[in-house]
Chains A and B, each alone.
Chain A
Amino acid sequence: MARVKFQTLSEQMFYVLLCLREERCGIDILDQVPTMTDGRVRVGSGTLYNLLEQFLDAGCIEETRVEGRRRSYLITPKGQEMLDQEYQRICAQARDYLRWTGEEGHP
């Protein structure tokens, strides 16, 4: 079944929102996400474009500055709430994992 929009966030969505806790432009986000994840997560430029458009439509981020072709964004309270919910969900998953597999991570 298709996921309800933004009910859970993909990794790319999560890290884009996390980046936008500070005002950043698109190119900064493309560089920042691999830095935050030690290269584990990379966001494609087309994906970033689509995510920024969708987050703007959903009111999760807002455009703060336009300098020529460069646009900067910042997360909104609604976006922050979504990020917090996703964090809680990930933590709950991690707790369930530890509970059922033992603290060392083995069954």
Chain B
Amino acid sequence: MKTRKRTWKRIAFFDSCETVCYLEKKAREGWVLEHVFGIWWTFRWTEPRPAHVWISYLTQDVYDPEPSEKLENMTELGEHTGWQLTVTTPTMQVFYNWEQTPIPMETDPVAHVEGMHRSLKQGALTLYRVLFGLALACLLVNLWSLLKMPLWALSHYAEWMLDDFLLFVVIGAELIPYELWYRKARKVAAQGEWLDTRPWGRVIRWVLMAYVILWLSGIVVTLVVKPWVHARLFIVVSGVAFAVGWCFVLWMRDVLRRRKVSRGKNEVMTAAVSFLGVMAFVGVMVAVFTHWNWFSPTSVDSWWSQYPDGLPLTVEQLRGEVDEQEFWVHRDGEESLVLGQYLGWQVSERETGPDEDMDTVMYTVTLVKLPALHNLCRDTMLWADHEAVDPTLWLAQEAYRETDHGRLRTYLLCYETCVVEIRFGWEPTVEQMQLVGETFGGDML
């Protein structure tokens, strides 16, 4: 018969009532908690019988195998009234009492609430407050980017901003229920009553579940969207590898601590393994960037790969035969789930006079995947000094020309699936306008 079993259980960091109920139920079924590592709980089989359980939240040194003086103090006091310390983790201690009607470990709600708050402040609570502050800062930076540079932000970081927002919600969902429970618990305790933590803890569980579902769905959707599938797949795989590596380091540290390895040795070994892991991770990242070219605009699955000549539109295609000369060609771009922005430049390196034409064409193609963003793209890209021109020449829905221009004639063209800003080193002819329309007027997505 199995004498041990492992299960995963995610309980809010302050939800002692849920933990107690769960462990007391397990004890009646014959399972006593033996070890906790993160969300993995290990139980050992024993005779099924009722037990009373209590949880305390004294912070322990993550490397030191010996319990702290405070924990020793509490353990001695608990043993005097039949409470046995069964499991201890860096953030939580579990006491069992097998008597039928033991004296509870906590008999004063005020002392319990204040003691719990004091313990949590030294550990998880401070961490969550710091993370919440960081997440809020990220959110504000993202909001600022959206206001100041909406197209750049949406084309480069739309998914990351969504992820930042979801993380903010998740961290808030861990922290805010506790803060609300604590404030109410203090008032209730002043009247000699106890406040159950479970309603607040439940909020966290539901939010976390929703976050995991949304996050996994987001990954699937992101992988389906082209281009740069390899790059996105790499981000997901490297994220998973990082999480696995992190868990391994924490597990190794925990094993060393339980085997009573000295604090110094534990610290050194954990640091060494972490360092090697980070080096290996960075090495793989560098290889992917430089050797396989997965993040480059020239990679095989990028948006550019559909144009064998490198650019959708070239000076030669527009002007026909041109004088022999050197060109500087540049292409760049980024794409998200909602927007893509691609820059294509072909700039003549031949020197010309101020009134002469230049064999130069430069364009920015903004792919509008979400129709609701079309007007935002147009309004953001439109210049202060502009005039509307006949869009039919460009086979476009709307067309504008910049009136205050230098040597380059600049036009903004609105098509169904993209908005294009294009600059010519000469005055384009009607045939050239039509060629632009044929190139960008189709389905660019």
Contacts and interface: CB of A to CB of B under 8 A. Distances in A.
Interface of A: 1-3, 5, 10, 12-13, 26-27, 30, 42-51, 53-54, 69-71
B80 A43 contact: no
B111 A13 contact: yes
7 contacts: A10-B110, A42-B107, A43-B107, A44-B103, A45-B80, A46-B105, A54-B118
Given A10-B110, A46-B112, A47-B106, 7 more contacts: A2-B183, A2-B187, A30-B81, A44-B106, A45-B77, A45-B103, A46-B77
A70 B76 CA distance: 8
Contacts, number: 90
A3 B190 contact: yes
**B interface, by DSSP: helix, strand, loop or mixed?**
helix
Contacts of A47: 105-108, 111-112, 115
A74 B226 CA distance: 73
Contact of B115 (A13, A54, A69, A71): A54
**A interface, by DSSP: helix, strand, loop or mixed?**
helix
A71 B73 contact: yes
B89 interface: no
Contacts of A54: 111, 114-115, 118
Given A30-B81, A44-B104, A50 B76 contact: no
Contact of A1 (B70, B72, B83, B190): B190
Nearest to B95: A46
Contacts of A49: 73-74, 77, 115
A48 B111 CA distance: 8
B186 interface: yes
Nearest to B69: A69
A73 to B, nearest CB: 11
Nearest to A52: B73
B78 interface: yes
B180 to A, nearest CB: 14
Contacts of B110: 3, 10
Nearest to A43: B107
B353 to A, nearest CB: 82
Contacts of A51: 108, 111
Contacts of B118: 50, 53-54
B56 interface: yes
Interface residues of B, number: 30
B115 A50 contact: yes
Contacts of B77: 26-27, 30, 45-46, 48-49
B200 interface: no
Contacts of A46: 54, 56, 74, 77-78, 104-106, 112, 115
Contact of B114 (A26, A45, A50, A71): A50
A53 B68 CA distance: 15
Contacts of A10: 108, 110-111, 192
B190 A27 contact: no
A69 B112 contact: no
Nearest to B116: A50
Nearest to B182: A2
4 shortest interchain CB distances as A-B pairs: A50-B115, A46-B105, A45-B77, A44-B107
Contact of B81 (A5, A44, A71): A44
A50 B293 CA distance: 59
Could you say which of B70, B111, B114, B115 has the most chain A C-beta atoms within 10 Å of its C-beta? B111
Contacts of A12: 107-108, 111
A4 to B, nearest CB: 10
A54 B114 CA distance: 9
A51 B76 CA distance: 15
A26 B77 CA distance: 7
A44 B105 contact: yes
Nearest to A1: B187
B186 A2 contact: yes
Contacts of A43: 107-108
A42 B103 contact: yes
B158 to A, nearest CB: 44
Nearest to B184: A2
Interface string B177-210: 0000001001101101000000000000000000
A45 B105 contact: yes
A2 B190 contact: yes
B199 to A, nearest CB: 19
B123 to A, nearest CB: 15
